[in-house]
Amino acid sequence: MIKHTTDIRVRYADTDQMKFVYYGKFFEYFEQGRSDLLRDIGLPYPRIEEMGLILPVVEAHAKYKKPAKYDDLLHVITYFKEMPVARVRIEYEVYRDGETDLLAEGYTIHTFVNAATGKPTRAPGQFVEAVEKAMRS
């Protein structure tokens, strides 16, 4: 399993009239966690694009347990457990700093697409090698 933690401070603009983080913002937090995880294992998005790939989201899910509020420091734990083939499932958990209660959890599923043709493809060797290396360490 590969795991990465991203810290995010809730901005006032992230909250709704109820003073809770607007539910859609969690997908932005997930995206930040995903970008940080991929960068951490040597696969920042620009490198993936240099491989001629794009990774569109084909499925997204979130489940909200407790609200996050303005100025909370959140820990977004991002991980994936399996080797990618034609798709990769990335999972997320969100916690408030200093607490163990889960605020939100979710996942996104991405498919590998050839950027030039727009057609689905398998994960390239460079991608798989980087994931294998990260899983071993």
CATH code where residue 53 lies: 3.10.129.10
Residues in the chain: 137
Token pair belonging to 134: 């990260």
What is the extent of the structural domain holding 130?
2-136
Number of domains in the chain: 1
In contact, 121 and 114? CB cutoff 8 Å: yes
Residue-wise pLDDT tens digits, 45-98: 999 999 999 999 999 999 999 999 999 999 999 998 888 889 999 999 999 999
Residue-wise pLDDT tens digits, 105-128: 999 999 999 999 999 999 999 999
**Sequence letter at residue 89:** R
Where is 110: in which H helix or E strand? Answer: strand 102-111
Chain centroid to CA 28? 9
